[in-house]
Amino acid sequence: MPFENLLFEVDGPVATLTLNRPTVLNALNRAVIEELIQLFEQLEKNHEIRVVILTGAGDKAFVAGADIAEMKDLTPEQAANFSARGHDLGDLMASVPQVVIAAVNGFALGGGAELALACDFIYASERAKFGQPEVSLGVVPGFGGTQRLARRVGPAQALELCATGDLIDAAEALRIGLVNRVVPGADLLATAQATALRIASRGAVAVSLVKQAVHASQELPLAEGNRFEVRSFGTCFETKDQKEGMAAFLAKRPPQFTGQ
């Protein structure tokens, strides 16, 4: 379906999703959040697309934050509802079978940093900058910044970033484990696409279960997480991909996975 604020392109098993509000640095408002939720609800049922690359239009910003002009007059109830929809989006992105890669091409601040954190991992341009500057506006992060950031980089690093509102560059984001890789801006999408194609060449059920298991590890005690992994491992042996993958290994040939 067509979207007002999003561009969505599919190339085989890889889709590129671009937030397309460059005149306001791709700021998140309620309409953008709802469109993203609609799109990821569709992806949840799509077995042809294996990986989604999420980026921002223009050369300045991934997402520079939430739309302050829209937010400034919200009532407490309206603000809580807006925050809740951002969390709904993050939870949905974590639950879809596709691996979601953030390709951060510029500023990722506030809601933009939180949107990147809702992705499974982050590649960043050398010119990218990250931050949770909400306290400078008199508010706290509203789309998971205090939670996903702490799980990504540890509570002390997260508290320092959220309490100071300071921005960090891509090199510092890499050092603290916020991003997986930093590359020249001209190479960002190609680097993400190369990784996406490698993921898409693997067994689809296995990749989806790996995503579920790693996300579960952030919530479950170790013993329960290990049981989750055991169940996932057993589930793989119900699939044609497991039989094809192991047969191909023994025959010393590339596997031909079907996602079944």
Query: Which residues are part of the catalytic machinery?
Result: 114, 134
Asked if 15 and 53 touch (Cβ cutoff 8 Å), the reply is yes
Asked if 26 and 74 touch (Cβ cutoff 8 Å), the reply is no
Asked if 45 and 8 touch (Cβ cutoff 8 Å), the reply is no
Asked if 116 and 108 touch (Cβ cutoff 8 Å), the reply is yes
For residue 56, the surrounding DSSP H or E stretch is strand 51-56
Specify the 3-state DSSP secondary structure of 228.
helix
Asked if 158 and 150 touch (Cβ cutoff 8 Å), the reply is yes
End-to-end CA distance of the chain: 27
**65 to 28, 106, 145, 164, 174: CA distances (angstroms):** 6, 12, 12, 16, 20
**161 to 48, 136, 150, 176: CA distances (angstroms):** 38, 12, 10, 11
